[in-house]
């Protein structure tokens, strides 16, 4: 497909880069953890699996969205690159083959090392006679009865290939010599792997078994060549507010229908386990409507969620030897397990730092609120919940105990829509009042407001976080959870829920910053405040991503004024640092390690002049302009010191941290002093113990001088 004309302006785009390429570079760093010899072997295999699932979602959402835009608005210009949607797609497709090549090489290396440890992904030819009898028996009893092989011919239409499902596919030849396609879906109810009796370290993947038996399943047709394939479909759903209003449906019913639509949307990628002949590809490409650039040969497994099942199947001692040392989240040292959490929060603000601190103090806070007679109501925003959610069950318990429980449930949390629909119904059945937020604006904020009454006086305990109320991800993501009895913040919290009940996005708040109106405007104001200080100004932001053009342009102004700007951005960063006369005072660190960096901290200034916030919002256009988000000021001196410790330690990281270079590539920092893995530091030393944090973090010379082996 020809690339549409592109409008470029080097002046406007001199310090910005593609959101998509920036994300792909982040995912490459995830993949490269599989090549780090200091990482245990099973964890290295998990990083390949995470890279694979990340890339799947990238195609389903970002590539799918760009395809939609290319059809509706083909001339639309991206404000970071000056490219049309087709131009952006061309850049993406030029990068993907190189990533697949790295994945194949790393998978082969890790698989070979695991074999030495007795963990073997087997072919049928490698099975011992006893193992082959076991697999054959299993195939005849469990697999064969549920198989549905299909030939594509005049009487059998081309089947719908489900999104991210594995198929054995092949070129079939009839007795008359006619060529056809044959498909054998992997049955959904079967396990992804079959472990061998007596040695669970030896396993065979289900698609490997199906490939072996496929020639016997198509009757009179001869299977000439075969492979495993997988189609990725556009999963970007658009909940049209106008159509919703005209239909008279509630949002939950409409979302349920959209989830069914997702399964049948257009294909954006085809993955093959090996290169296939021209006749097979001609027949297949015509049916799927795909171009050559959308088709990839991937010799490593196309679906790798099985890795987590494998880890559970291995003997405990073997799994432990091949995994990170077990880590048990701690109960914060500054909190007493035997004393009411609500009462402790009333004494002073409390901060939890997941996953280093456990989620139990917050769960205990909710448990107390569910039963305490002086608690009047619990109000909470929910974006993602665990499949088996303690938070949801406590909220149901509170409602059943007569508490007024209001849940602002976001049904549009991508890939969690069905889970949220199920929980919303259960909570309604228990007596919770469930609302669904404001049309066209996802509610991504994380706030829980507990209202208490003593006599005729109301008081509040407010929890505000950077991550979801999901106990499973609380053990995997680094996030912050502030619990405070500050009356002013509580009053703002009450106003927030009142505004959400009536769909008011323009509410006024004295302390909380609420997007889409309040966060970006305040950020720009605070950046201007530092610009006025010139070289004495200081900005440090920790977030997941930065794409918002107006914020980036303002940070460039700060850099030009001599303000030191340090950004800790795990993933996307569309702002390129180190550009002479523009971003030379901006430095970007990205950390990819054992836990997923997810917390958001905004810092402006130093000393007594410092202003600190924690937030649910990244510095992205969607978060600041098109979502309901909350940023909360931090006033308690002890909590401020904890946040400064986090920022300081992560800027000191020289083990898992990479630096963003002016050309948009990353390079790992060098251990110029003692090695510092920030996540290891937080596992070994509690955030709740005092630490001296330098007033002016002296990391700049290490940032510039500690670069090793530039990696694009």
Residues designated as active site: 444
CA gap 132, 465 in Å, rounded: 52
Helices (H), 300-386: 306-313, 316-321, 341-347, 360-371
Residue 270's nearest CA partner among 376, 193, 163 is 163
CA gap 320, 336 in Å, rounded: 32
Q: What is the 8-class DSSP label of residue 326?
A: P
CA gap 293, 477 in Å, rounded: 34
Torsion of CA 83, 87, 89, 92, to 10 degrees: -80
Q: What is the edge-to-edge ordering of all strands in the sheet holding 166-173? A: 150-152, 179-185, 166-173, 222-233, 267-272, 295-297
Question: Tokens 């929980």 map to which residue?
Answer: 423
Residue 508: Cβ-neighbour burial (10 angstroms; 0-12, 13-18, 19+): exposed
Q: Quote the tokens at residue 529.
A: 């405040």
Segment (H or E) for 667: strand 666-669
Q: How many CB atoms lie within 10 A of CB 481?
A: 25
Q: Quote the tokens at residue 583.
A: 């971003």
Question: Tokens 């909570």 map to which residue?
Answer: 427
624 with 505: CB under 8 angstroms?
Answer: no
Q: Quote the tokens at residue 113.
A: 């090392």
Residue 510's nearest CA partner among 520, 502, 518 is 518
């Amino acid at each position: 497909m020809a690339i549409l004309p592109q409008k470029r302006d080097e002046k406007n785009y001199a310090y910005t880069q593609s959101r998509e390429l920036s994300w792909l570079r982040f995912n490459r760093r995830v993949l490269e953890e599989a090549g780090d010899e200091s990482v245990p072997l099973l964890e290295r295999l998990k990083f390949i699996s995470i890279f694979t699932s990340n890339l799947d979602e990238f195609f389903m959402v970002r590539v799918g969205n760009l395809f939609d835009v290319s059809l509706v608005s083909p001339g639309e210009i991206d404000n970071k690159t000056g490219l049309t949607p087709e131009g952006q797609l061309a850049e993406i497709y030029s990068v993907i083959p190189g990533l697949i090549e790295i994945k194949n090489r790393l998978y082969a290396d890790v698989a070979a090392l695991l074999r030495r440890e007795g963990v073997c992904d087997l072919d049928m030819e490698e099975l011992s006679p006893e193992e082959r009898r076991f697999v054959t028996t299993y195939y005849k009893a469990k697999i064969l009865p549920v198989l549905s092989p299909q030939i594509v011919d005049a009487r059998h239409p081309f089947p719908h290939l489900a999104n991210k499902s594995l198929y054995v596919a092949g070129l079939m030849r009839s007795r008359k010599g006619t060529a056809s396609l044959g498909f054998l879906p992997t049955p959904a109810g079967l396990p992804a792997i079959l472990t061998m009796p007596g040695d669970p370290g030896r396993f065979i993947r289900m698609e490997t078994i199906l490939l072996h038996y496929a020639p016997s399943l198509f009757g009179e047709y001869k299977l000439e060549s075969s492979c495993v394939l997988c189609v990725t479909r556009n999963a970007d759903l658009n909940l049209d507010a106008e159509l919703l209003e005209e239909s008279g449906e509630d949002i939950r019913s409409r979302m349920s229908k959209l989830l069914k639509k997702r399964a049948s949307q257009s294909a954006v990628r085809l993955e093959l386990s090996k290169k296939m002949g021209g006749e097979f590809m001609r027949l297949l490409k015509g049916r799927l409507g795909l171009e050559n650039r959308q088709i990839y040969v991937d010799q490593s497994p196309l679906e790798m969620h099985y890795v987590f099942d494998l880890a559970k199947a291995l003997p405990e001692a073997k799994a432990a030897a091949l995994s990170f040392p077990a880590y048990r989240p701690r109960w914060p040292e500054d909190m007493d397990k035997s004393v009411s959490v609500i009462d402790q929060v009333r004494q002073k603000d409390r901060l939890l730092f997941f996953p280093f601190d456990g989620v139990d103090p917050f769960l205990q806070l909710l448990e107390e609120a569910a039963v305490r007679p002086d608690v009047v109501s619990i109000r909470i925003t929910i974006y993602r919940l665990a499949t088996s959610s303690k938070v949801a069950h406590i909220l149901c318990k509170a409602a059943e105990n007569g508490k007024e429980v209001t849940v602002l449930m976001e049904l549009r949390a991508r890939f969690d829509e069905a889970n949220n629909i199920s929980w919303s119904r259960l909570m309604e059945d228990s007596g919770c009042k469930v609302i669904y937020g404001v049309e066209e604006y996802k509610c991504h904020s994380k706030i829980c407001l507990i209202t208490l009454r003593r006599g005729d006086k109301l008081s509040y305990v407010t929890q505000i976080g950077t991550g979801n109320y999901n106990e499973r991800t609380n053990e995997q993501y680094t996030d912050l959870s502030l619990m405070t009895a500050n009356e002013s913040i509580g009053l703002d919290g009450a106003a927030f829920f009142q505004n959400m009940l009536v769909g008011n996005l323009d509410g006024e708040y004295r302390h909380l910053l609420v997007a889409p109106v309040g966060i970006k405007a305040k950020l720009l104001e605070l950046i201007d405040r530092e610009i006025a200080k010139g070289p004495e100004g200081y900005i440090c932001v920790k977030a997941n991503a930065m794409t918002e053009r107006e914020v980036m342009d303002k940070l460039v102004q700060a850099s030009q004024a001599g303000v030191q700007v340090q950004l800790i951005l795990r993933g996307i960063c569309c702002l390129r640092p180190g550009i002479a006369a523009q971003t030379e005072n901006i430095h970007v660190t990205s950390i990819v390690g054992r836990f997923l960096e997810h917390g958001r901290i905004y810092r402006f200034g130093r000393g007594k002049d410092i202003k600190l916030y924690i937030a649910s919002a990244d510095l992205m256009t969607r978060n600041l302009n098109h979502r309901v988000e909350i940023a909360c000021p931090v006033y308690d001196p002890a909590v401020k010191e904890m946040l400064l410790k986090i920022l300081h330690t992560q800027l000191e990281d020289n083990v898992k941290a990479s630096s963003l270079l002016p050309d948009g590539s990353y390079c790992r920092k060098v251990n110029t002093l003692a090695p510092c893995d920030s996540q290891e530091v937080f596992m070994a030393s509690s955030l709740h113990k005092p630490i001296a944090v330098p007033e002016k973090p002296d990391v700049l010379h290490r940032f510039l001088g500690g670069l090793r082996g530039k990696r694009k």
